[in-house]
Amino acid sequence: MTARELSFVHVFRPATVAGLPPVLLLHGTGGDETDLIGLGSAVAPGAALLSPRGQVLENGMPRFFRRLAEGVFDEDDLRRRADDLARFVGEARAAYGIGAPVALGFSNGANIAAAVRLLHPGVLSGAILLRGMVPLNGAVEKSVATPALLVSGDRDPIVPAANAARLAAMLEAAGGPVEHRVLPTGHGLTRVDVEMAADWYERQAALTPEAVAS
């Protein structure tokens, strides 16, 4: 692994298989840049992995943006942090010579990924949102098509079912096909989450120009 001095503390793991979309790993509250490396390797074997650490601390725990209470976001801060993360992706693409990544985010990481998807069309080539919820209020303008997978838990005490359904509708309205899967589980990740994410990533990877050319 290498870590260059870019605007986020991060880990970068180069690809070992050509033609795969890189993966942007976005941890949940209390995680760091190493937290989802194993998940990324399981979901996208051989792909380049880019994993930044959130720059906000909540009681000493890294996050990607501030919140006012559980499920209540500081939207001004969220928008600014989404801008910062989008800028970091551009820096990393130039530094490491990679294409637009597929975001793979869990919880807080899924929420910042959804915000980047909505506010910065074209930065991501896709998004896998595990236990994501609506990051922003209000309508968003339709933009470039970016596919997304949202995996929710029907017993999730943090993300109400209606909120997850609203996020799926919001992403679809903004452009791009959205698959919303609901599992009989809570907020934590399960083996089925990994299998669904890996299947979705494999299907998307098969559609990339690099994969078609190879």
Indicate the Cα dihedral angle 96, 120, 165, 157, nearest 10°: 60
Which run of H or E residues covers position 149? strand 148-153
Q: Is 107 known to be catalytic?
A: yes
Candidates 10, 27, 84, 107; catalytic one = 107
Strand duo 148-153 + 126-130: pairing: parallel
Strand duo 148-153 + 23-26: pairing: unpaired
Candidates 32, 83, 180, 187; catalytic one = 187
Q: Is 187 known to be catalytic?
A: yes
Candidates 35, 51, 84, 156; catalytic one = 156
Q: Which residues of 184-208 are buried (b: 16+ CB within 10 A; e: fewer)?
A: ebebebeeebbebbbebbeebbeeb
Q: Is 10 known to be catalytic?
A: no
> Which active-site residues does the annotation give?
107, 156, 187
